[in-house]
Chains A and B, each alone.
Chain A
Amino acid sequence: MLPYLLAVWIFLAGLYGIVTSRDLIHTTVCVSVCQSSTYILLLAIGYRKHATAPVYGDIPSSRRVVDPIVQALTLTDIVVAVAVSSLLIALALRVYDSSNSLDPSQIVGQRG
């Protein structure tokens, strides 16, 4: 049960960071924190006791393995997270260009 609750905790911590963020780069990092909670949740769900990695190079095919599907999902999840982060930072740079600030409350034409 603990790994699931850990995922919930990390998600809420990231959310707290997003809500109280005074800097758009910091916000981006907090979004990554939120996303990393999904890796923990996925991997925790797929874990099986006394199981090994689902790679049959040198283990017998009868060996118990963890769920390969959630691992594949986590892999693609990480790729999406990187794409989102890079895009958000690029947007933050453009915001800085136009308003000379990364603080959401200082940005002209935006309140937050």
Chain B
Amino acid sequence: MTNQLRLALFGVGALCVGALLVWGVLDLPAFGHYAGPYGEIIARVVEPQRHMANAVTAVVFDYRGFDTMGEELILFSAASAVALLLREIKEEDTISVVDAVRSDALNGVGVLASVTTFVLALYVVAHGFISPGGGFQGGVVLATAFLIVFLTVEYHAYERLATTRFAEPLESFGAGAYVAIGLVGLGLGFSFLENFLPLGVTGRLRSGGSAAIVNWASALAVAGAFVLIFSEYLEGNMAARYGRGRRL
């Protein structure tokens, strides 16, 4: 297909799709005047019913916990697929990796930044039901703490800290624990992923009931998935540069 024909075809298609979308958008409630009932109901009942201050996290891990499980498994399967697609590099190929930048000051600041980020991540996860944050956000921050080690300290230190041997079980444990909590509730006579533990006091760290455990499980799964994805890409890149691996 020539480029002109492609563009002409796209032009026609885009006009139709665009017109359809604009037509659909015209019937939406005016911007700022959304009147959907469900969000309003959740916002009113989340505190008295679930003792959670953050309505968004309450929706993600409690009211829509089942949907989030699907979401979690999408991330899980994507990370596994990335590992499957990229894993042909032998670990010997990355032995000769030399870090281009060596500076004690940079290493020192890097370790400090990594540790601070690690603690921040735990804070973001733990306060998911109290302030903005939660398992997904905190999990990503947690993975970043490991990436900072690669960026500022050295590749081998990152490799030792975040080996796929450690990231993979972490990811699987998180995803498995998420499902397991649902099954435990089921065994105790509740619905799947229904909140079955004491809800605690709103605004306290020990609030959230069993959704708080689900929150931590998803944090581990997300952190494991991201570290796994980072590691696979980094390993491939390093093997291509320094080892006998493929050339990128």
Does A108 interact with chain B (Cβ within 8 Å)? no
Partner of B85, one of A45, A57, A61, A94: A94
Instruction: State whether B14 touches A72 (Cβ < 8 A).
Output: no
Chain A interfacial positions (CB closer than 8 Å to B): 1-5, 7-8, 11-12, 15-16, 19-20, 44-49, 53-57, 61, 65-72, 75-76, 79-80, 82-84, 86-87, 89-91, 93-94, 96-97, 111-112
Across-interface contacts of A2 in B (CB, < 8 A): 31
Contact with A along B12-42 (1 / 0, CB 8 A): 0010011001100110111111101011101
Instruction: State whether B32 touches A83 (Cβ < 8 A).
Output: no
Instruction: State whether A8 touches B21 (Cβ < 8 A).
Output: yes
Partner of A12, one of B14, B39, B132: B14
Q: Which residue of A lies closest to B75 (CB)?
A: A83
Instruction: State whether A90 touches B38 (Cβ < 8 A).
Output: no
Instruction: State whether A79 touches B136 (Cβ < 8 A).
Output: yes
Instruction: State whether B14 touches A67 (Cβ < 8 A).
Output: no
Contact with A along B80-92 (1 / 0, CB 8 A): 0110011000000
Instruction: State whether B56 touches A1 (Cβ < 8 A).
Output: no
Query: Majority SS of interface residues in chain A?
Result: helix
Across-interface contacts of A61 in B (CB, < 8 A): 44, 47
Our count of residue pairs bridging A and B at CB distance below 8 angstroms stands at 157
What's the nearest-Cβ distance from chain B to residue A1, in Å? 6
Instruction: State whether B38 touches A69 (Cβ < 8 A).
Output: yes
Number of contacting residues on B, CB 8 A?
64
Give the complex CA separation of A4 and B236 in angstroms. Answer: 41
What's the nearest-Cβ distance from chain A to residue B178, in Å? 13
What's the nearest-Cβ distance from chain A to residue B235, in Å? 12
Does B162 interact with chain A (Cβ within 8 Å)? no
Instruction: With A71-B56, A90-B81, A93-B86 as known contacts, state yes or no: A4 contacts B31, CB within 8 Å.
Output: yes
Instruction: With A15-B14, A86-B82 as known contacts, state yes or no: A70 contacts B39, CB within 8 Å.
Output: yes
What's the nearest-Cβ distance from chain B to residue A107, in Å? 14
The 10 closest A-B pairs by CB, nearest first: A67-B39, A83-B78, A68-B55, A54-B55, A49-B32, A72-B59, A4-B25, A90-B85, A76-B71, A8-B21
Give the complex CA separation of A16 and B85 in angstroms. Answer: 28
Instruction: State whether B39 touches A68 (Cβ < 8 A).
Output: yes
Instruction: State whether B56 touches A55 (Cβ < 8 A).
Output: yes
Instruction: State whether B22 touches A79 (Cβ < 8 A).
Output: no
What's the nearest-Cβ distance from chain A to residue B196, in Å? 21
Across-interface contacts of A70 in B (CB, < 8 A): 39
Across-interface contacts of B238 in A (CB, < 8 A): none
- Interface pairs (20), CB distance under 8 Å: A4-B28, A4-B31, A15-B10, A15-B17, A45-B36, A46-B34, A54-B43, A56-B46, A56-B53, A56-B202, A68-B42, A68-B46, A71-B59, A75-B56, A75-B134, A75-B136, A76-B67, A76-B68, A93-B85, A93-B248
